[in-house]
Amino acid sequence: MRRWSALGLAAVAGLLGIVAVVIAEGESRQAPPAPPAPAPFREVLAGTGIVEPLGGSIAIGTPVAGIVATVNVQPGDTVRAGALLFRLDDADLQSQRPGAVAALKESQARLAQANDLYRLILNVADPRAVSEEETVLRRTAVNVAAAGLVTSQARLTQLDDDVARRLIRARAFGSILQINIRPGEAASTSPIRPLMLMAAGERLMLRVDIDEFEAGRLVPGARGVASPRGRPTLQLPLTFVRIEPSIVAKTSLTGSNTERVDSRVLQVVYSFALGERMALVGQQMDVHIDAASAEPAK
């Protein structure tokens, strides 16, 4: 009996040893932590920032409801002002155009006929051969035909304007962030989420949170660099834009165990080029600001 107990204890000890070895090997295979970012300045003021469009985000909508016919851009595309983003189905309007064009031509012909008849009366050699009533009637016919021509032109112009309203174009230079529509879907004038989301402008900005206890060290115009999370050795040069003149509650959390959720921050805005090292809107970055010197804002 004692022999079997000893064998059991030996088996348990061996099993525990195997488990310990497996755990140790797993820990040794884990990726080493990323090295800390080198301090770029002698006196550093640290903060975290969120990438935003410098010109703001534009929620693309439509002035009229309709069925999406084509989507002419893709996420990530850079577009200029006036570029076609998407088109709504306009078959109902296009079917009305031939009739509107025909009505315009008819109105033009009526006006030409009324003018010819009126000129005939005016060119009669003996004015006594034409009554005053006939002259008034012919002149009135010209005015009526002219008004009809204006009406026909207005109808055709309105039809063309309605067609143009179904062509949704970019109002400014920027890049496409999101596309939430597809051909065949119904586009509403008041959607739950934007049909498209566009970043306006040629540059991105970084809205940096500085703890209120460190705000006194911030110098207007101070230089700064930003590093994407997970790539501390990559440092993007920043251009100072402005300091928001108010202390606000911190809304962007980094996930650090030592971070306070009730902290208040001063926000400073920096900018950098739109395609700089694949920085993306909404990306969080670590920011280092030179607390010892400043340079004039550009």
Q: Identify the structural domains of the chain with CATH numbers, from first to last.
A: 44-54+202-290 (2.40.30.170), 57-89+167-198 (2.40.50.100), 91-165 (1.10.287)
pLDDT value for 46: 86
Enumerate the β-bridge partners of residue 45. Answer: 289
Q: Global pTM?
A: 0.66
CA–CA–CA angle 54, 263, 34 (5° rounding): 70
Q: Which segments within the chain are labelled E, that is strand?
A: 44-53, 57-60, 66-71, 78-79, 84-88, 167-169, 174-179, 186-187, 196-200, 203-211, 224-228, 236-249, 264-273, 284-290
The tokens of 22 are what?
Answer: 């497996």
Question: What is the per-residue pLDDT for 4?
Answer: 47
Residue tagged 């934007």 (tokens): 194
Gap between the Cα atoms of 4 and 136, Å rounded? 132
Residue 85 has pLDDT above 90, yes or no: yes
Position 212 confidence tier, pLDDT thresholds 50, 70, 90: confident
Dump pLDDT digits (tens) for 106-149: 999 999 999 988 888 877 767 776 677 777 888 888 899 999 99
Does the pLDDT at position 246 exceed 50? yes
Average confidence score pLDDT of the chain: 81
Q: What is the pLDDT of residue 183?
A: 95
pLDDT tier, 16 (very low <50, low <70, confident <90, very high otherwise): low
> What's the token pair of residue 172?
């400014």
Distance (Å, whole) CA 188 – CA 59:
13
168 or 15, which is more confident? Answer: 168
